[in-house]
Copies of this chain bind each other. A is one copy, B any other.
Amino acid sequence: MPDISQLSINTATVRGRYRLDEILAAVARHGIPAVSPWRDQIAELGLAETARRIRDLGLKVSGLCRGGMFPANDRGGFESNLDDNRRAADEAAELNADCLVLVVGGLPEGSKDLAGARSQVRDGIAALQDYATPLGVKLAIEPLHPMYCADRAVVNTMAQALDICDEIGGEVGVACDVYHVWWDPDLERQIARAGKARLHAFHICDWLRVTKDLLLDRGMMGDGVIDIAQVRGWVEAQGYDGFHECEIFSAQDWWTRDIDEVLKTVIERHRAC
């Protein structure tokens, strides 16, 4: 039997055909100990009901996806975004999630002010932490691949995320997703800089050599070019012993498949890397 005691399933991996209640049941059925659910799926099932099912199935929550999306064109928009993040922190507390994952947001519509958006992100995370810390919720800044800089996240490297952590202090850390950071020549050094205390999450999937879509064409571990074992080694060298969360957006392939087939494959491939 492969050791899956550190495996977690990000529910986006099987969201193509399945509802959250079906996903939770399937994850438990396969003996996988943890999930990372998305807020829209939670809203559909209901927060209390989601928490109850997760508890009844004995699952852990490796992270809540997601907070962030801070930058706005005006103060009102920013405050409204921050407010939504406070609700996300409440949900993370209710679900006893290891962290609240932050996809920080891209440029506001029509804006070219990258420095301004980055400054809003820093301010937003600082304000959110003031709210989240008393709830016992740790924030995990997820640097997103630079190809998402315009529309999803203006934080694009581990170094940049850690600069924000340095500036804000407290328990804020990073979510290291191999898909977003595998190309970074500075990755090993930045993982060491993060250290165990700030490595709040480790996400796995693969980068397909021929990638057909910027968002929805991630690969299953082993099908692409990322040396996942190497990155995992760097993370573990820091003492990271949290979950390996499998997160695959794959509209044309994995999202079309049967959930048992997907989860079986994740278990096999997780072992191999």
Contact = CB atoms under 8 A, between A and B. Distances in A.
A119 to B, nearest CB: 12
A251 interface: no
B151 A209 contact: yes
Contacts of A107: 209, 225
Interface in A169-189: 182-185
Contact of A214 (B160, B183, B184, B211): B211
B225 A146 contact: no
A272 to B, nearest CB: 13
A1 interface: no
B149 A183 contact: yes
A183 B225 contact: no
B146 A113 contact: no
A75 interface: no
B156 A207 contact: no
Contacts of A184: 146, 156
Contacts of A211: 147, 150, 214
A66 interface: no
A151 B210 contact: yes
Leading 8 A-B pairs by shortest Cβ distance? A149-B183, A112-B227, A146-B183, A147-B147, A150-B225, A150-B209, A146-B146, A160-B185
